[in-house]
């Protein structure tokens, strides 16, 4: 599982109506990591997201209908699985995830199958509403108990996934809306190693978070405990899908 000179890395960026930011994100990733492939999954955007991303140097996959965040992510992971990349960096298109932190995720992937970029171990230039922060703390504590060591930020979408993990998600289930502690637990139950590194995160530059406002926060708070419970009760599939030598 050592990071080697021949590892093929894809940066998967789900995006919906992110024309204001996606070009800058793609360009910065391209500048910092010219040897990485950049795949933007345009989730049926109603603006020029896809065209701007393509012009900036990304390969663009456009979904014919809106799939939601999880569906867009899984679409990118399916392509990564088909092309047999060794590592996927997953990040958002809204400017929240700082491309300067990608290198830290890549380096940590030498030791872990799933690396979570934690805003709580790094730098976050924005505040999180109290109710959501409490929920994040509780769900992270549950995930930590299953993983066997402290995990601080299960809701982070800034991640590095080795082939065994992204194959697990590409060929199996992946939530449509709020991938969180349930997915971290599912990875750990398969025997894969989960770790964290501190990253830089910013306030999103445009649009709205998928967990924003009272209704979305309430849905998150109600859905996640059930999702965690179901995941804890599920039996992992036999073997390690796509595990590396």
- Residue range 17-51, pLDDT digits in tens: 999 999 999 999 999 999 999 999 999 999 999 99
pLDDT digits (tens, 9 = 90+) for 157-184: 999 999 999 999 999 888 877 778 999 9
Contacts of 3 (CB under 8 A, 6+ apart): 87, 106, 107, 109, 110
For residue range 84-134, what is the model confidence (pLDDT) as tens digits? 999 999 999 999 999 999 999 999 999 999 999 999 997 766 667 676 778
Question: pTM of the predicted model, to two decimals?
Answer: 0.88
Spatial strand order in the sheet of 194-201? 59-62, 37-42, 9-15, 87-90, 159-162, 114-124, 194-201
Ranges of each domain in the chain? 9-233
Rg (CA), the chain: 17
Fold of 9-233: Spore Coat Polysaccharide Biosynthesis Protein SpsA; Chain A (3.90.550)
Contact present, 168 and 129 (Cβ < 8 Å): no
């Amino acid at each position: 599982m050592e990071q080697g000179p021949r590892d093929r890395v894809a940066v998967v960026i789900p995006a919906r109506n992110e024309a204001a930011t996606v070009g800058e994100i793609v360009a910065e990733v391209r500048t910092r990591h010219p040897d990485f492939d950049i795949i933007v999954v345009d989730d049926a955007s109603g603006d020029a997201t896809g065209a701007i991303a393509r012009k900036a140097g990304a390969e663009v996959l456009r979904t014919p209908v809106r799939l939601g965040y999880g569906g867009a992510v899984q679409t990118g992971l399916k392509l990564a699985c088909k092309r047999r990349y060794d590592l996927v960096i997953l990040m958002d298109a809204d400017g929240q995830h700082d491309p300067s932190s990608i290198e830290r995720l890549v380096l940590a992937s030498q030791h872990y199958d799933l690396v979570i970029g934690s805003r709580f171990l790094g730098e976050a230039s924005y505040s999180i509403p109290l109710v959501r922060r409490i929920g994040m703390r509780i769900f992270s504590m549950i995930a930590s108990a299953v993983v066997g060591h402290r995990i601080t930020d299960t809701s982070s979408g800034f991640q590095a996934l080795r082939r065994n993990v992204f194959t697990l998600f590409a060929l199996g289930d992946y939530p449509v809306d709020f991938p969180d502690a349930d997915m971290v637990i599912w990875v750990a139950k398969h025997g894969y190693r989960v770790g964290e590194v501190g990253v830089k995160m910013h306030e999103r530059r445009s649009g709205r978070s998928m967990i924003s406002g009272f209704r979305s926060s309430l849905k998150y708070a109600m859905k996640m405990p059930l999702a965690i419970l179901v995941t804890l009760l599920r039996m992992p599939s036999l073997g390690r899908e796509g595990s590396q030598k």
